């Protein structure tokens, strides 16, 4: 997964915008088994957020959506 794809995935799945340095850090740590700390900004409000994200959630396929 390249850095720009990782930034888009974090935005789409978690609502967090991250800077290139943070996406590079997460990219290096994807092989770790434990949760990763991710620091960025909330996409809606811009407020700083810190999340603990399971690497499996980042590398999994696209989320399925329910059709209603």
Q: What is the model's pTM?
A: 0.78
Structural domain contains residue 45: yes
Answer yes or no: is pLDDT of 9 > 50: yes
**Span 10-68, pLDDT tens digits:** 999 999 999 999 999 999 988 878 899 999 999 999 999 999 998 888 877 665 444 44
Query: What's the pLDDT at 63?
Result: 56
Range of the domain at 47: 3-59
Structural domain contains residue 35: yes
**Span 48-59, pLDDT tens digits:** 999 999 888 887
What are the tokens at 32? 């770790």
**Strand extents, DSSP E, the chain:** 16-17, 36-42, 48-53
C-alpha angle 59-64-67 in degrees, rounded to nearest 5 = 170
Structural domain contains residue 66: no
What does each C-alpha distance from 42 to 33, 36, 39, 61, 66 come to in angstroms? Answer: 25, 17, 10, 23, 24
**What's the rounded Cα separation, in Å, for the pair 24 and 2?**
9
CATH number, position 36: 3.90.640.10
Total number of domains constituting the chain: 1
Structural domain contains residue 17: yes
């Amino acid at each position: 997964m390249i850095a720009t794809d990782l930034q888009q995935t974090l935005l789409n799945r978690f609502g967090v915008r991250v800077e290139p340095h943070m996406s590079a850090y997460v990219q290096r740590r994807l092989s770790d088994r434990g949760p990763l700390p991710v620091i960025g900004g909330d996409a809606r409000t811009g407020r700083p957020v810190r999340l603990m994200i399971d690497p499996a959630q980042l590398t999994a396929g696209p989320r399925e959506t329910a059709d209603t």
